[in-house]
């Protein structure tokens, strides 16, 4: 307490020794004015509700004759007791003046014990008092109150905070079974975990995605107890921040905090879990209450808690419908370019076709079905047609390619052309005869200008053309 503390120890039990300035030494008697300088036990002399304030009482103007008294009455804030040292006989906190005092001088100490239910949180209340000088008639005199203890603040009462994990999320995707796939959005409902103290007005909880690392949050929705704040139209972030509002604390498990929309990118591997964490930031607190934010992983459940690949691959190229000349009744070799396909999820896509390229096709039109399958087993199918034609013209072309003797090949084509003309004219008997001549000539060339197998195939195709 500095010099006042030393002085206090000197005056206890010995009456008041006034540091007076006689009028003859330059003091000017006049209306009495008093002051108190107050100091509490807090930092730098501050005082709070429930604590004790010690105020030194001084004469700051006028004259107090010997035998007069000073009475100080506390008006507020709420207090439980007031005591003075040295005390006088007047009611309340009073001091007896034993020696005349002029202009200024130390009168005594006043101790105020404030009630614990003082100023509201975050505020403060000034110490208000009245002063009377009794010489011997009592009359009110001006009183100035200063010092760090002149304002009674709020005592430091640590606020119990909500405990980790703060919240949990239940996520549902757009698939029929509630799952979510790549390139889709996941809707997660955020709830309080119900651990620790309740959430108060001004508290904030931020739910941020951890995995998938490149997922975005295009939407955040409020609940009756929260407000997400301003979000621009179409804005995309990595988190949603919910501020609690209202006068009623939010406590207990399962209180709906808000909605978070997660946009799942196409680069996510199937089976990757949705991972999020929560950061709790308390509302502004009065000093010295700490107000640091804390972070904790949260539980993510529901059918949308894991990215499930339910999107089939997409074909990027397919062979066109094609027509080829038959080289045999049922063994025409057909080659076509392999189809290609891509998938929304990482991983190889396999493509298979039935019938396969390089396989044997029969005369007529065959539908070729190709199936693309991704690593999750999702598949897509596309088709094209292969027509193996067998006409008089196509058989002539095949004969010219397979018969090594040009003269024989020409002779065979002449017979086929004649058969075609006969069919056009409706002379089926003549056509049948010319096809038979073709078969006989091919048979004669078997093992010579054509192989035995080629001869067998050409004869089989010719017989298919017989009317």
Residue 279, domain CATH: 2.60.40
Tokens of 344: 């929304």
pLDDT tens, residue by residue, 350-373: 999 998 999 999 999 999 999 999
Q: Is residue 11 very low, low, confident or very high in pLDDT (cuts 50, 70, 90)?
A: very low
pLDDT of residue 5: 41
Pair 205, 222: CB distance under 8 Å: no
In a domain, 160, yes or no: no
Q: Which of 122, 153, 184 is the last residue of a domain?
A: 153
Residue 151 has pLDDT above 70, yes or no: yes
Q: Is residue 131 very low, low, confident or very high in pLDDT (cuts 50, 70, 90)?
A: very high
* Contacts of residue 263, Cβ cutoff 8 Å, sequence gap at least 6: 185, 215, 216, 217, 218, 236
Query: Is the peptide bond preceding residue 255 cis, with omega within 30 degrees of 0?
Result: no
In a domain, 437, yes or no: yes
Task: Report d(CA 344, CA 267) in Å as an integer.
Answer: 7
Secondary structure of residue 354 in the 3-state scheme:
strand
Residues β-bridged to residue 219: 261
Farthest CA pair distance, the chain = 164
Q: Is residue 142 very low, low, confident or very high in pLDDT (cuts 50, 70, 90)?
A: very high
Q: Is 120 exposed, middle or buried (0-12, 13-18, 19+ CB in 10 A)?
A: exposed
Q: Is residue 242 very low, low, confident or very high in pLDDT (cuts 50, 70, 90)?
A: very high
Residues 248 and 368 in one domain: no
In a domain, 158, yes or no: no
Task: Report d(CA 343, CA 325) in Å as an integer.
Answer: 36
Report CA 388 to chain centroid distance, whole Å.
60
Q: Which of 389, 415, 444 is the last residue of a domain?
A: 389
**Whether the predicted model's global pTM rises above the 0.85 cut:** no
Residues 183 and 277 in one domain: yes
Report the number of distinct structural domains present in the chain.
4
Task: Report d(CA 254, CA 301) in Å as an integer.
Answer: 13
Residues 299 and 327 in one domain: no
pLDDT of residue 232: 63
CATH number of the domain where residue 333 is located: 2.60.40.10
Average pLDDT over residues 242-256: 92
Task: Report d(CA 141, CA 59) in Å as an integer.
Answer: 11
In a domain, 89, yes or no: yes
Residues 271 and 321 in one domain: no
Residues 8 and 79 in one domain: yes
pLDDT tens, residue by residue, 44-56: 899 888 889 999 9
In a domain, 288, yes or no: yes
The boundaries of the domain holding residue 221 are: 167-305
Task: Report d(CA 204, CA 396) in Å as an integer.
Answer: 86
Residues 33 and 131 in one domain: yes
pLDDT of residue 234: 64
- What radius of gyration do the chain's Cα atoms show? 52
Alpha carbons within 13 angstroms on the beta-carbon side of residue 426 total 0
Report CA 182 to chain centroid distance, whole Å.
18
Residues 299 and 329 in one domain: no
Q: Where are the alpha helices (DSSP H) in 112-245?
A: none
Residues 243 and 284 in one domain: yes
Residues 207 and 337 in one domain: no
Residue 319 has pLDDT above 60, yes or no: yes
In a domain, 124, yes or no: yes
Q: Which of 217, 210, 214 is nearest to 273 (CA)?
A: 210
Our CA angle for 404, 410, 411, nearest 5°, is 110
Q: Which of 153, 183, 200 is the last residue of a domain?
A: 153
Residues 149 and 6 in one domain: yes
pLDDT tens, residue by residue, 85-94: 887 766 678 8
In a domain, 55, yes or no: yes
Pair 147, 45: CB distance under 8 Å: yes
* Contacts of residue 212, Cβ cutoff 8 Å, sequence gap at least 6: 264, 265, 267, 268, 272, 274, 307
Residues 404 and 373 in one domain: no
Residue 318 has pLDDT above 60, yes or no: yes
Residues 326 and 285 in one domain: no
In a domain, 456, yes or no: yes
Task: Report d(CA 85, CA 91) in Å as an integer.
Answer: 14
- Dihedral sign from CA coordinates of 226, 228, 229, 230: negative
């Amino acid at each position: 307490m500095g010099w006042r503390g030393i002085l206090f120890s000197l005056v206890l039990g010995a009456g008041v020794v006034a540091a007076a300035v006689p009028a003859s030494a330059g003091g000017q008697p006049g209306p009495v004015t008093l002051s108190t300088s107050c100091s509490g036990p807090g930092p730098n002399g501050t005082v709070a509700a429930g604590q004790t304030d010690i105020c030194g009482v001084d004469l700051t103007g006028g004259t107090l004759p010997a035998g007069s008294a000073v009475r100080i009455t506390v008006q507020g804030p709420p207090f439980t007791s007031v005591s003075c040292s040295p005390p006088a006989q007047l009611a309340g906190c009073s001091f007896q003046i034993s020696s005349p005092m002029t202009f200024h001088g130390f009168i005594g100490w006043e101790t105020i014990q404030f009630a614990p239910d003082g100023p509201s949180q975050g505020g403060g209340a000034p110490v208000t008092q009245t002063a009377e000088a009794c010489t011997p008639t009592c009359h009110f005199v001006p009183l100035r109150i200063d010092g760090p203890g002149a304002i009674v603040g709020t005592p430091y009462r640590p606020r119990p905070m909500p405990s980790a994990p703060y919240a949990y999320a239940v996520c549902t995707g757009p698939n029929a079974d509630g799952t979510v796939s790549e390139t889709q959005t996941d809707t997660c409902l955020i709830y309080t975990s119900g651990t620790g103290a309740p959430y108060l007005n001004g508290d904030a909880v931020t739910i941020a995605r951890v995995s998938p690392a490149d997922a975005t949050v295009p939407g955040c929705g409020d609940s009756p107890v929260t407000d997400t704040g301003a979000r621009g139209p179409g804005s995309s972030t990595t988190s949603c921040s919910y501020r609690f509002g209202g006068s009623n604390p939010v406590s207990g498990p399962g209180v709906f905090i808000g909605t978070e929309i997660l946009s799942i990118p196409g680069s996510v591997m199937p089976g990757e879990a949705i991972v999020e964490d929560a950061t709790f930031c308390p509302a502004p607190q009065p000093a010295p209450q700490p107000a640091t934010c804390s972070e904790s992983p949260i539980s993510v459940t529901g059918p949308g808690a894991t990215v499930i690949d339910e999107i089939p691959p997409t074909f990027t190229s397919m062979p066109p419908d094609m027509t080829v000349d038959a080289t045999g009744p049922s063994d025409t070799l057909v080659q076509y370019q392999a189809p290609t396909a891509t998938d929304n999820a990482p991983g190889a896509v396999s493509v298979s076709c039935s019938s396969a390229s390089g396989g044997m096709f029969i005369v007529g039109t065959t539908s070729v079905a190709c199936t693309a399958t991704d690593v999750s087993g999702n598949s897509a199918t596309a088709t094209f047609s292969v027509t193996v034609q067998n006409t008089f013209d196509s058989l002539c072309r095949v004969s010219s390619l397979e018969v090594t003797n040009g003269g024989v090949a020409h002779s065979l084509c002449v017979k086929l052309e004649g058969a075609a003309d006969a069919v056009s004219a409706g002379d089926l008997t003549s056509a049948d005869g010319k096809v038979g001549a073709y078969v006989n000539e091919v048979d004669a060339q078997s093992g010579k200008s054509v192989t035995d197998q080629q001869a067998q195939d050409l004869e089989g195709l010719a017989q298919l053309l017989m009317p």
